[in-house]
């Protein structure tokens, strides 16, 4: 089993988000200072069966480093076989998802379901660790429910099975993404194990990351939904951790440039037709909360492709333009 010395030391990490953290999204996060990224959640069963759709989640480029690949599955042998296939792509580490609350995943006995069966979780971790030479990490929730919060137990099992680090999302599986993350659980896990602990949940502003480091003593922080339409969040966190002041949010002209660059990267990765379909959600996130964005969002939602919504996007942002603050794009 390979170690993870230094890999998670004081790092800011992009969480694996299904349908979101593809190559173009990861590269946008990296441009704003994200230290480490993970792929979208990858099905071990799909990889072992030779599914081309599943294998596409592994698409990367040399600049997309350091990179972790997140696997999910319920069978130790299949997870081990999938990990071997993943290791052929030379990831920096392999992460095992034991926290996804999505019904389809849970019904298969994977994801957060494994919070209900710590012994099975341990067998899966041990099988993957034995099969590969790269570090193996685990992502969990605080428990299946508030009545069965067992993150500390799961973390100890993961460490015993050979995991190199563990990420703790401070919500229970039955919370989904509602309510608030309990950072105290992250602190308890950090006290209980010797391996690095990554804190996850409710980092929406740069100051949130700083507070998480201070309150939990975690080794690294993981940002998920807070980065949607807000990749400059990583830059703000990096600056605060370096003792520097945060930068102002991008002005309308800068934000438009960021959106267009992200869309162009999406086109390069998967072609115009797929990019336009995939990018619609990002368009809504990038404009959420801006003055008059409701009208634009409603209009854009009725447009078929970027040939229609790009001119509308430019008209909308030109109406918002003010004197630009200092440049924030690298």
* Catalytic positions: 100
Q: At what angle do helices 306-318 and 252-270 cross, to 10 degrees?
A: 160
Q: At what angle do helices 233-241 and 206-216 cross, to 10 degrees?
A: 50
For residues 237 and 36, the answer to whether their CB atoms sit within 8 Å is no
Q: Distance between CA 119 and CA 51 in Å, rounded?
A: 29
Q: Distance between CA 107 and CA 113 in Å, rounded?
A: 8
Q: Is the dihedral of CA 144, 216, 67, 118 positive or negative?
A: negative
Residue-wise DSSP of 242-287: TT-PPPPPP-HHHHHHHHHHHHHHHHHHH-HHHHHHHHHHHHHHHH
Q: Which residue blocks in 112-205 are alpha helix, DSSP H?
A: 118-131, 151-161, 183-192
| Strand 67-72 to 93-98 pairing | parallel
Provide long-range contacts, Cβ within 8 A and 24+ apart, for 304-310. Answer: 305/272, 305/273, 305/276, 306/263, 306/272, 306/275, 306/276, 306/279, 309/283, 310/260, 310/263
């Amino acid at each position: 089993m390979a170690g993870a010395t230094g890999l998670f030391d004081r790092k800011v990490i992009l969480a694996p988000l299904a349908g979101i953290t593809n190559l173009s999204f990861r590269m946008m996060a990296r441009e704003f200072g994200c230290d480490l990224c993970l792929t979208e959640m990858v099905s071990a069963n799909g990889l072992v069966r030779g599914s081309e759709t599943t294998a596409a989640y592994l698409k990367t480029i040399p600049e997309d480093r350091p990179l972790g690949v997140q696997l999910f599955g319920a069978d130790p042998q299949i997870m081990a076989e999938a990990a071997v296939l993943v290791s052929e792509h030379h990831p920096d580490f392999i992460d095992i998802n034991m926290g996804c609350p999505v019904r389809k995943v849970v019904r298969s006995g994977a994801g957060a379901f494994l919070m209900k069966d710590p012994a099975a979780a341990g067998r899966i971790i041990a099988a993957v660790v034995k099969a590969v030479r790269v570090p193996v990490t685990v992502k969990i929730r605080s428990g299946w429910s508030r009545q069965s919060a067992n993150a500390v137990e799961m973390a100890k099992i993961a460490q015993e099975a050979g995991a190199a680090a563990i990420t703790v999302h401070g919500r229970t599986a039955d919370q989904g993404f509602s309510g608030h993350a309990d950072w105290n659980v992250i602190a308890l896990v950090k006290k209980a194990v010797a391996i690095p602990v990554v804190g996850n949940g409710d980092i929406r502003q740069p100051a949130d990351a700083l507070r998480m480091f201070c309150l939990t003593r975690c080794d690294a922080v993981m940002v998920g939904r807070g980065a949607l339409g807000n990749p400059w969040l990583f830059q703000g966190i990096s600056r605060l951790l370096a003792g520097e002041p945060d930068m102002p949010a991008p002005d309308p002209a800068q934000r438009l440039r960021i959106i267009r660059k992200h869309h162009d990267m999406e086109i390069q990765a998967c072609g115009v037709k797929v990019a336009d379909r995939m990018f619609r959600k990002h368009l809504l996130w990038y404009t959420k909360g801006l003055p008059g964005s409701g009208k634009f969002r409603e209009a854009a939602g009725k447009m078929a492709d970027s040939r229609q919504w790009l001119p509308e996007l430019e008209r909308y942002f030109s109406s918002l333009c003010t004197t630009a603050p200092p440049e924030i794009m690298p």
